Amino acid sequence: MPEPDIFRALADPTRRAVFERLSAAEMTVSDLTRGFDVSQPAISQHLAVLKGAGMVAERREGRQAWYRAAPDALSGLEAWVARYRTFWPERVEALKTVLKEMDE
């Protein structure tokens, strides 16, 4: 049982988009705010939820706060999905194919 927080964190599209950007690059709150059509407090609140779910990490530097996706942000989710994967062996085969392609 991955902390239910991650499911709630992923439920909001804006929050998913924030996480996507933080997966591509470390950014400050100002950087993120510029990229979305919501206020800075809204971004801070989304970041607090993502942090509470262990999906992002914070690094303070002066008056700036740099955020980035946590390395194991989705490990809990992967583990949860893996439980069901055992019921569907054919999906494992499909996944193997994907991984094989990534090797080439």
Partner DNA sequence: GAATCGCATAAGTATCGACTTATGTATCGG
Partner DNA sequence: CCGATACATAAGTCGATACTTATGCGATTC
Order across the sheet with 64-69: list the strands. 27-28, 64-69, 56-61
Q: Please answer whether residues 20 and 68 qualify as being in contact, where contact means their C-beta atoms are separated by less than 8 angstroms.
A: no
User: Per rule CB under 8 A, is residue 50 in the interface with a copy of itself?
Assistant: no
Measure Cα distances from 41 to 30, 36, 62, 98 in Å: 10, 12, 19, 40
Q: Which ranges in 25-71 belong to alpha helices (H)?
A: 29-35, 40-52
Question: Binding string to DNA for residues 23 to 52, with x set by CB under 7 A, is what?
Answer: -----xxx--x---xxxxxxxxxxxxx---
- Pick out residues in 23-42 that bind a copy of itself (CB under 8 A): 23-24
User: Per rule CB under 8 A, is residue 88 in the interface with a copy of itself?
Assistant: yes
Q: List residues binding DNA (CB under 7 A).
A: 8, 11-12, 14-15, 28-30, 33, 37-49, 58, 62-66
Q: List residues binding a copy of itself (CB under 8 A).
A: 4, 7-8, 10-11, 13, 16, 23-24, 69, 71-75, 77-78, 81-82, 84-88, 90-92, 94-96, 98-99, 102
